[in-house]
Structure 1
Amino acid sequence: MTIILVLHTLLVLTFTIRILLRDDLSPPGRLAWFVVLNLLPYFGSAIYFLFGETDIGNRASKRHKEVFREIRAKASWFMGDATNTETLIDPVYRPAFRYAGSINGFHPSTGNTAELMRDGDETLSRMVADIDAATDHVHVLYYIWLDDNTGHAIAEALIRAAQRGVVCRAMADGLGSRAIINSPLWQRMKEAGVRMAVALSLKHPIRTILTSRLDLRNHRKITVIDARITYCGSRNSADPEFLIKAKYAPWVDIMLRFTGPVVVQNQLLFASDWMQATNESLDGIPLSSGRGKEGFPAQVMGVGPTERHGATPHLFANLFACAQSELTLSTPYFVPDATVLEALCAAAYRGVKVALIFPKINDSLIVAAASRSYYHRLLDAGCVIHEFKGGLLHAKTLTIDGKISLIGSSNLDLRSFDLNYENNILLQDEATTQAITERQQSYISQSEVVTLPEVLAWHYHERIWHNVIATIGPVL
């Protein structure tokens, strides 16, 4: 019995000391781990060992630094110039664009255009048509790639392109797309000449557990065609019916088709993942400026566990702080850290019209509970919360003052903040922002407003559940 007590004490003490030694962990995160370790010491120790730290491993971190050194040495001109922010961006929004540029070196370039896709059908038909028209190369990267109508159509278009001599590179995340990676369709693409790679492969799961984390994932959705066209938004290579979670369907996504210099920035972001997964150099990736005579300034922003900690919440906080009159945000997963929550409330307190759009029914009960724990604070500050009823609202959008938009793969949750590789495009353009704003208004028209009296009327067990989940949120 004494031996068991000593081992128990050593186990808890070891993980407690490890948590106390971490300078990168926020006080709420540290407290959450203490709660779990004390209430469930054995389970908590195992969970911390598997998921407690965001270190992707020394080899991967070293390779990431090598990749971006090579990209900056060979392609810095395509990444934009930091001085562009001072000449292209309205003064009030420059802090946010400067911050975005500081993350991985992409800065605003002008001459971009964007077209908002009407729905999933148009997205698929336009994407397939663009791949069918490709003459040099097609590059795709998806977190979830299903063997459904959409996934099959993209695969077949890549096969046709490869067979006519177009260089096709296709990547998918090792966990999110594990079914298709092991499918005959994946093998058919290989046999047709499509160059295939797996992002964050799970081929050696034990080694991944010992050196990193299984849930560090590549959540990006990137399509680049002939360095002239790129698609950016929330949609995976999957039907809106989303067969792996069909009861929450339809998945409501948003996608934009871009041309201009921002395309080659997305190309370089794709290249960074390709180089990481294959150990190839940048030399085989075609680069072109694609600058149009007219267009708006935009820049790519890529984040992940190999970038600096807190980059995403800091960017959102900067954007919220720049808002002058209105701010509308949609996200399926809202579990903000203190930085984001306080910035949203501060914007509302100083008179900005803050509209938040979340799904009414979430595919994650844990996320739904954590999200609702923040409703009281947000409503007190003057934010307006809309819960979308037309399926699972998966679109990640932010519009500010009818001028600024952020579109891409990042949610406002701890996974996007710390664990996932994400890609976004930040732009300044009234026409594009108006188009996205109208889409946001269509979401609001299919939503119901959550009022403060309703939240205060929630049963006590609901409120306890929401707040317990929020308390241990950093562990989830």
Structure 2
Amino acid sequence: MSLLANLSWGSVYFASEWLIRLAMLIVVPFRRSPEAAKGWLLFVFFLPWPALVLYHIIGRPNYPRWRRERFARLPVVFKGVADRVRALTERQEPELPENLKQAATLIQNLGRFPSVDGNSVELLCSYDESINRLIADIDRATGHVHLLFYIFADDRTGWSVIDALAHAVERGVTCRVLIDALGSRAWAPRVVDALRQRGVAVRLVLPVTLLRRKSARADLRNHRKIAVIDGMIGYVGSQNIVDADFRPGITNQELVVRATGPVILELQGVFVADWFLETQEILHTPDLFPTPAHTGHVVAQVLPSGPDYPEASVGRLIEAMVHGARRRVVITTPYFIPNEGLLHALGTAVLRGVEVHLVLSKPADQLLVSLAQRSYYAELLGAGIRIHLYRDKLLHAKHMSVDRRVSLIGSSNVDMRSFTLNSEVSLILFDREVNAELRTEQERYFASSEELSLDTWKARSLASKTIENIARLVSPLL
């Protein structure tokens, strides 16, 4: 009797696995890229029940219903803010060659922010310098300080910023801070407590708990790094508020933009929208959007992206910029897991005679991502794309230059997570001088890197190739 019962339960389980496979074959491909669909279906084929559970948790790149409802209210809630930004900024179409004009139009259509003239930009390549400049600007703030960061630690760097915010509050400055709940999970309770004790308004973004009805999905994060001081100075880039060596054995190398001028109102708009999504508080006082001073001649544009903006994928912009390139493309990123569209764009650019460089980090902090990334190297090298592996430090900087006219600097990596799952922000700069300065930094990367050759890469062991290609099978899920 016991044997029959076991056979019966075994039959039921076997049948349930095939029901899951067949059902997921219909469900998974809907509104999903072919690469992601293939990854999920492979997982489902081998482990149906674990795949079903994981798919229920993270299978769809959608925020909770409450957040989607709040985001739907943004056009109405912030109509006054949007009108003021449009009134205060002088829209100017950047003077670009014909091959890049469509990319500029795409940025505006995706992110809803126009290109604006009259900005000044500094590239901060030193980790300590960018923190010191931020603190100096906080120390000079007279109205407000807004910070939005994926990681805000309570280490030496974090406390230097906490102290600066505390002094600003003592002077009567309003300070607001948004911190991603999962990115800062190791430090969040202490940082939040320290900031609140010092009078700073602080919120954790997208908290994840098992029992809360409004808990967010663990894999949908706010990965932005934004600072806005008095609506006149802004910071954006790859650097978090944490010590450069916060991971044992790894030191980060970053790049941050410090900007002034009308484009800061667009960065402010991204922060104000995120603040509303977390608190339902509408920030619309005139001091948040002051009449901007023209501080330079750089034409700039902000692109927010993420699940809130399903059409505004930074991946689409990167592909368009590669397709529009005529001379040279350099992409710098710590995590490179491209989709088929980007792979095709890069290979086609080489065939058109474009010089294409990828600057990636030799030290790695995420093993599975690193293995999956390495599985693309042979294909990229075979297509004529030059790969530079930055030595010594984890090159965490995220930027791109096209020809001599367009630069993109922000928080987005070149992978599905940044293209689809994370909320990111990018600053696009249409300026020859800024591009030249970025090219100088890229040349420094080249000099501090090992350039891969196809023959040497193909000579690695069969075990390495096997492990990397297995990791590649799940790369659409990373």
TM tier, shorter chain?
over 0.9
1:235 aligns with 2:239: yes
Q: Is the 8 A contact 1:370 1:470 kept in 2?
A: yes
Identify if the C-alpha distance between structure 1 residues 235 and 294 changes in structure 2 by more than 3 Å, giving closer, same or farther: closer
Q: Is the 8 A contact 2:90 2:117 kept in 1?
A: no
Partner of 2:11: 5
Equivalent of 2:391 in 371, 389, 392 = 389
Partner of 1:260: 261
Considering only aligned residues, what root-mean-square deviation do their CA atoms show, in Å?
2.2
Q: Which amino acid is the alignment partner of residue 232 of structure 2?
A: R
> 1:294 offset after TM fit, Å?
3.7
Identify if the C-alpha distance between structure 1 residues 429 and 110 changes in structure 2 by more than 3 Å, giving closer, same or farther: same
> 1:453 offset after TM fit, Å?
0.2
Partner of 2:4: none
Matches within 5 A, 1:251-400: 251-284=252-285, 286-292=288-294, 294-308=296-310, 311-400=313-402
Partner of 1:459: 461
Q: Which amino acid is the alignment partner of residue 160 of structure 1?
A: H
Structure 1 gap ranges (5+):
none
Identify if the C-alpha distance between structure 1 residues 64 and 19 changes in structure 2 by more than 3 Å, giving closer, same or farther: farther
Partner of 1:166: 173
SS at match of 2:187: helix
Report Cα offsets for 1:159-186 as digits up to 9, x if no partner.
1101110010011000111233211x43
Report Cα offsets for 1:18-38 as digits up to 9, x if no partner.
452342112222222121112
> 1:73 offset after TM fit, Å?
4.5
1:205 aligns with 2:210: yes
State how far apart, in whole Å, the 1-side matches of 2:89 and 2:163 are.
40
State how far apart, in whole Å, the 2-side matches of 1:399 and 1:163 are.
42
Q: Is the 8 A contact 1:151 1:238 kept in 2?
A: yes
State how far apart, in whole Å, the 1-side matches of 2:311 and 2:278 are.
22
Q: Is the 8 A contact 1:93 1:322 kept in 2?
A: yes
Partner of 1:54: 61
SS at match of 1:361: coil
Identify if the C-alpha distance between structure 1 residues 382 and 53 changes in structure 2 by more than 3 Å, giving closer, same or farther: same
Structure number, greater radius of gyration: 2
Q: Which stretch shifts more, 387-396 or 16-25? A: 16-25
State how far apart, in whole Å, the 2-side matches of 1:126 and 1:83 are.
28
Partner of 2:33: 26
SS at match of 1:238: coil
Q: Which amino acid is the alignment partner of residue 251 of structure 1?
A: N
State how far apart, in whole Å, the 2-side matches of 1:355 and 1:46 are.
40
Identify if the C-alpha distance between structure 1 residues 171 and 8 changes in structure 2 by more than 3 Å, giving closer, same or farther: farther
State how far apart, in whole Å, the 1-side matches of 2:281 and 2:21 are.
38
Partner of 1:416: 418
1:187 aligns with 2:182: no
Partner of 2:221: 217
State how far apart, in whole Å, the 1-side matches of 2:365 and 2:393 are.
10
SS at match of 2:120: strand
Q: Which amino acid is the alignment partner of residue 471 of structure 1?
A: L
Q: Please give the TM-score of this superposition, normalised by the length of structure 1.
A: 0.93
> 1:278 offset after TM fit, Å?
0.6
Partner of 2:160: 153
Q: Alignment length, in residue pairs?
A: 470
Partner of 1:70: 77
> 1:8 offset after TM fit, Å?
4.5
Structure 2 gap ranges (5+):
1-6
Q: Which stretch shifts more, 395-404 or 185-194? A: 185-194
> 1:149 offset after TM fit, Å?
1.6
Identify if the C-alpha distance between structure 1 residues 177 and 251 changes in structure 2 by more than 3 Å, giving closer, same or farther: same
> 1:459 offset after TM fit, Å?
1.7
Q: Which amino acid is the alignment partner of residue 460 of structure 1?
A: L
State how far apart, in whole Å, the 1-side matches of 2:323 and 2:293 are.
31
Report Cα offsets for 1:326-373 as digits up to 9, x if no partner.
111110000011111111111111111111110112111111111111
Q: Is the 8 A contact 1:222 1:232 kept in 2?
A: yes
Percent same amino acid among aligned pairs?
33
Q: Please give the TM-score of this superposition, normalised by the length of structure 2.
A: 0.93
Q: Which amino acid is the alignment partner of residue 204 of structure 2?
A: V
SS at match of 1:178: coil
